[in-house]
Structures are given as C-alpha cells and as structure tokens.
Structure 1
Amino acid sequence: MIGLMHFLVLAGIVFTIGLLGMVLNRNNLIAILMCLELMLLAININFVAIDRYLDLVDGQIMVFFILAIAAAEAAIGLAIFIVLYQRYASIETEKFAQLKG
C-alpha cells in the first residue's frame, strides 16, 4: 500500500530536481521557469498528500491558489521571454546584462 511517506519522498525528489536545475542551469530562462514549475508541483504533492492523510481540504484549497499563481507566472514569464527574444535574438541570461540600470 502506498502511504504518506511515499508521497513525501516523491515530492522531495521532484523538488530537489527542480532546485538542482535552477542552480546548475543559469543560462537558459525557459529551463529556469520549468524548474520553478517542478518546485511548485512538489509543494502541491505535499499539500494533497498531507490533506489526504489527515482527511482535510485546507491544503487542497491552497493547491488551487498555487496553480493560479503558477499559471500567471508562466504567462508573464513567457511574455517576457518573447519580448527579450525579439530584442536580443536569444534567451540566454548572459545577454541581458545590459538591462541593469
């Protein structure tokens, strides 16, 4: 039977993959955005698993808020990527040093 610990370990692995992806890959903005989404997914897994274990719905409500924030973050992030790609013809982070004011 799959218990709470299995879900918590899975969420820990997914969060670690996302964190390592953000730390090790600082060049590609799309990869950084995808790693951030993985980290948010791991948080959602934790909320749902703990709520299922405790027979509550509070964490599941929080998951809806996190999903809304993730969707808004993805939409805004992709819009910024499109504008930056049109201006610099690249999405590598080293090319954006000129944006510092």
Structure 2
Amino acid sequence: PLPDPFLNKLILSGRCLAKQQQQQQQLQEQQQQQEQQQQQQQQQEQQELQQEDLHALGLVLSQVPHLVEGLECCTLKMKPREGDILGCCCMQLVS
C-alpha cells in the first residue's frame, strides 16, 4: 500500500494541475470573448462608416437632381437645363 504522505502529495499535485488547467481555460475563454468583442466593434464601426458614406452620397446626389437621367441625355447630345452647373441634367436636344 502507498504511504499516506505520498498519496497526499499526489492529490495535492493533481489539484494544482486541475487549478492550472482551469485557469488556462478561463484565460482562453476570456481571450475568445475579447476577440469576439473586437470583431463586433469593428463590424459596428464599418456599418456606421457605411451609413455615413451613404448619407454623404445622398446629400451630394440630392444637390444634382435627375443625375442618371442627365447622364443618359447628355450622351444623347442634349442641352443642359438652366442652372445646371455640372451639366448633368438636360432638357432639350442640341440642334
């Protein structure tokens, strides 16, 4: 039979190992959570940036009415509308 002090040492060593493993596992879980939080933050920031970009584009495009129509009719050699600085909006054919 094993002597008691030896058995106690083994048990203590085992507990120590178990504690270390538990701490390592907790550390890994914390790291994973931090990584996930960072990824979520990055995604949120990207979405916010996209929304800001869309808003900015909307503002710019609202300053240029009928932009698509203008681009189409300008390629058909039509005359720009009055007050159209960029020459994007057209109203009649150039004769």
Identify, as 1 or 2, the structure richer in strand. Answer: 2
Identify, as 1 or 2, the structure richer in helix. Answer: 1
Larger radius of gyration: 2
TM-score over 0.5 (shorter chain)? no
- Provide the TM-score with structure 1 as the length reference: 0.31
